[in-house]
Amino acid sequence: MTAPLRVAVLGAKGRIGSEACRAVEAADDLELVAALDRDDKLDALVETGAQVAVDLTHPDAVMGNLEFCVSQGIHAVVGTTGWTEERLASLRGRLAASPATGVLIAPNFSIGAVLTMRFAEQAARFFESVEVVELHHNRKADAPSGTATRTAQLIAAARDRAGVAPQQDPTTHALEGARGATVDGVPVHSIRLRGLLAHQEVLFGDLGETLTIRHDSLHHSCFMPGILLGVRRIPTAPGLTVGLEHFMDLD
Ligand SMILES: NC(=O)C1=CN([C@@H]2O[C@H](COP(=O)(O)OP(=O)(O)OC[C@H]3O[C@@H](n4cnc5c(N)ncnc54)[C@H](OP(=O)(O)O)[C@@H]3O)[C@@H](O)[C@H]2O)C=CC1
Ligand SMILES: O=C(O)C1=N[C@H](C(=O)O)C[C@H](O)C1
């Protein structure tokens, strides 16, 4: 019998981290060897022989955590948000020095959200107008969400590949912020509301029609199959992978 994969969770007391600990503990092929939160020492990852660390912490913490993991050859599955091109470049640099180590950055672990991104990417070239609205609980640290940022980037890249002209915004008079933020030319609007969890609408418009793609995460359990998939796959996927879709048979 194969020994269980030794997994650590960082951000173990958090909303998603606590759910991830339970999911790892419930999986026969995985062993939760460390559940760390703020102020716990990362050395515990080495002491417990963790093979994969799942980072569900905070944008301010994730880079330091990954530097440590990669330097120790510990694979990482990352749900934490706050990724920029500069951060990705820095991480790629670290991974170059540890070529057997794998890091998965998943803007969203839920199957519906991954499909939303894929469908939005497919629709992107057919509509003149597109805007993204993301809605989250009122404890969320970052805006726009990692998912909305990634969705907008994928839409923009698809439109660019298809030679679609950048959409025009005729607004000349606006209160600052009224038109949201712009990610690669796509307007993104962030709503924070007690009672919500994680939701997104991608709205497309053209002559006489609109298309809305909406996804709702209703409970943190929706992220668990994706986290477990990432944990199981990352030891055989060296280097940087961005997006859970790379571990899914989508086509
Ligand atoms: N990719 C995906 O599918 C998903 C991603 N997320 C992302 O995961 C992250 C966490 O979200 P959420 O669980 O809601 O946030 P929480 O604030 O509930 O949880 C984060 C936890 O991490 C702890 N923490 C902070 N810094 C460190 C550190 N340096 N080392 C270890 N633990 C630390 C926090 O402690 P303290 O409270 O003391 O600050 C807290 O317990 C966010 O970036 C969120 O966007 C969330 C859901 C799904
Ligand atoms: O903070 C959250 O809750 C979530 N964060 C991720 C994001 O920023 O996209 C994923 C999901 O939306 C839940």
Q: What is the pLDDT of residue 15?
A: 97
Distance 146 CA to ligand 2 centre (A): 6
Q: What is the pLDDT of residue 251?
A: 75
Per-residue pLDDT, averaged over 232-250, amounts to 96
Residue nearest to atom 2 of ligand 1 (CA): 108
Residue nearest to atom 7 of ligand 1 (CA): 80
Is there an atom of ligand 1 within 6 Å of 247 CB? no
Closest ligand to 58 CA?
1
Among 229, 223, 190, 187, which Cα is nearest to 204's?
187
Q: What is the pLDDT of residue 99?
A: 97
CA angle, 235 as apex, 84 and 88 as ends, to 5°? 10
Distance CA 151, CA 111 (A): 14
Distance CA 79, CA 93 (A): 20
DSSP code string of 131-160: EEEEEE-TT---SS-HHHHHHHHHHHHHHH
Residue nearest to atom 12 of ligand 2 (CA): 198
Is there an atom of ligand 2 within 6 Å of 107 CB? yes
Q: Is 109 exposed, middle or buried (0-12, 13-18, 19+ CB in 10 A)?
A: buried
Is there an atom of ligand 2 within 6 Å of 145 CB? yes
Distance 35 CA to ligand 1 centre (A): 13
At residue 250 the predicted structure's pLDDT band, cuts being 50, 70 and 90, is confident
Distance 121 CA to ligand 2 centre (A): 19
SS3 179: coil
The b-or-e profile of 198-227 (16+ CB within 10 A means b, else e) is: bbbbbbbeeeeeeeebebebeebebbbebb
Distance 122 CA to ligand 2 centre (A): 22
Task: Choose one of 16, 62, 81 to mutate for the ligand 2 pocket test, by most ligand atoms within 8 angstroms of C-beta.
Answer: 81
Q: Is 24 exposed, middle or buried (0-12, 13-18, 19+ CB in 10 A)?
A: buried
SS3 98: coil
Give the tokens for residue 164: 């679609």
List the end-to-end C-alpha distance of the chain, in Å, as a whole number: 33
249, pLDDT greater than 90: no
β-strand partners of 58:
none
HSE-up of 206 (CA within 13 Å, CB side)?
Answer: 8
Q: Give residue-wise pLDDT tens across range 162-173.
A: 999 999 999 999
Any idea which residues carry the catalytic annotation?
136, 140
Is there an atom of ligand 2 within 6 Å of 146 CB? yes
- Is-contact 104 78, C-beta < 8 A? yes
Distance CA 41, CA 57 (A): 14
Distance CA 214, CA 116 (A): 7
Q: Give residue-wise pLDDT tens across range 182-226.
A: 999 999 999 999 999 999 999 999 999 999 999 999 999 999 999
Is there an atom of ligand 2 within 6 Å of 140 CB? yes
Distance 223 CA to ligand 1 centre (A): 14
Q: DSSP assignment, residue 197?
A: -
Per-residue pLDDT, averaged over 1-16, amounts to 96
Residue nearest to atom 13 of ligand 2 (CA): 198
Residue nearest to atom 39 of ligand 1 (CA): 38
150, pLDDT greater than 90: yes
